[in-house]
């Protein structure tokens, strides 16, 4: 998520890419307020996008009862709030993701514990 400063910074920002082990990627799960905000993960740019579903997100969201029910083919992805169709076979970088980008995913038919959006 980008911010435009009204005047130049009088200091070097501390959240620049060089200060992290890998670019940061914010990932949020729509309609699941048990996770009230996107998680922020350092992910190498050469990580295949498809690895999010199989190797990354199970460790983040896997304990939620809806997670095991996700049909990843039907998942709707959003990048910076706009519908987006990533290529799971391409890397995060090849899908246009860079440091501090925000992506969210919606899982049609799954709306939290007993439909509570939690």
Query: What global pTM score does this model have?
Result: 0.88
Instruction: Give Cβ neighbours of residue 63 (< 8 Å, ≥ 6 apart).
Output: none
- Burial of 42 (C-beta count, 10 Å sphere; 0-12/13-18/19+): exposed
* Residue pLDDT, tens place only, 25-81: 999 999 998 998 999 999 999 999 999 999 999 999 999 999 999 999 999 999 989
pLDDT mean across residues, the chain: 94
Integer Cα distance of 16 and 50 in angstroms = 26
Residue 57: φ, ψ to 5°: -65, -30
Taken in order of first residue, the domains within the chain and their CATH numbers are 20-115 (3.10.20.560)
pLDDT of residue 2: 72
Q: Which residue in 35, 40, 4 sits closest to 21, CA to CA?
A: 40
Half-sphere exposure of 60 (CA within 13 A, CB side): 18
pLDDT of residue 1: 61
């Amino acid at each position: 998520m980008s911010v435009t400063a009204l005047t130049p910074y009088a200091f070097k920002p501390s959240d620049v890419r060089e200060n992290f082990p890998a670019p940061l990627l914010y990932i949020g799960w729509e309609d699941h307020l048990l996770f009230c905000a996107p998680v922020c993960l350092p992910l190498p740019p050469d990580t295949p996008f498809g690895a999010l579903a199989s190797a990354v997100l199970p460790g983040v969201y896997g304990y939620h009862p809806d997670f095991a029910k996700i049909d990843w083919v039907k998942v709707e992805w959003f990048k910076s709030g706009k519908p987006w169709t990533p290529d799971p076979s391409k890397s995060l970088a090849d899908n246009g993701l860079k440091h501090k980008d925000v992506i969210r995913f919606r899982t049609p038919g799954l709306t939290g514990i007993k439909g509570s959006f939690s």
